[in-house]
Structure 1
Amino acid sequence: MNQQKLDDVFSYHPPSNHMIAGSHEAIRDGCKALSAILNTYVPEGHEKEKAIDALREAMYWSNAGIACSSINAQTWLGEDPLNLGAISG
C-alpha cells in the first residue's frame, strides 16, 4: 500500500454536507434498532456478544465507506431508501 493510501485511510473524513451526515445517522439508527432486537431475542452468551460485535463492525465499515467515498455526495440524496425512519422512529 502506498503512503498516500495510508494517509487517506488514517485521516478524518468529515461529512461534506448534511445529506452525508444523515447517511451516517441512518446507518447508526438502523444498527441501533437491530441491536435492540438482538438484545431482546438472543440469549446472553458468547454468540450474542459475537452478533453485537459483528453489528458494530458492519456499522463501522458502512460509515467508513460513506466517509471515504470520493463520490459520496452524489450517492446519497438525503432520502431514506430503506425507510429506516420507520424502524428507529
Structure 2
Amino acid sequence: MDKRFDYHKPDEAKVDAHTTCRATCKALAQCLDELLPESREKSIVFTKLEEVLMWANAAIARN
C-alpha cells in the first residue's frame, strides 16, 4: 500500500527515464496530431497517450 501512495524521490537515472518517456510521448503526440483528422477518435488517442505517460511515470517512480 505504501508503495502506491508514498512519495518516491527520483534518483538521476529515474529523472532521465521520466524525461525520455515524456519526450517520446510528446514526439508521438505531435506526429499523430499531424496524421489524424480531427475527431472523437483522435481525442481518445490523446487521452490514452496521456494515460501511457502517467503509467510509465508511475512504473519508473515505484520500481
- Same fold by TM-score, threshold 0.5 exceeded? yes
| Selected match of 1:56 from 47, 50, 56 | 50
Give the CA RMSD over aligned residues: 0.9
1:8 maps to what in 2? 3
Aligned to 1:68: 62
Pair 1:23 & 2:22 matched: no
Structure 2: distance between partners of 1:57 and 1:14 = 21
The structure whose Rg is larger is 1
TM-score in terms of structure 1 length: 0.67
Residue by residue, what CA displacement relative to the aligned partner does 1:4-37 show, whole Å, maximum 9, x if unpaired?
x1x331222120x211100000000000000001
Q: Which amino acid aligns with 1:41?
A: L
Higher helix share: 2
SS at match of 2:9: coil
More contact order relative to length (CA 8 Å, sep ≥ 6): 2
Runs of 4+ off more than 6 Å = none
Q: Partners of 1:30 and 1:36 in 2: how far apart?
A: 10
Structure 2 unpaired stretches of 5+: none
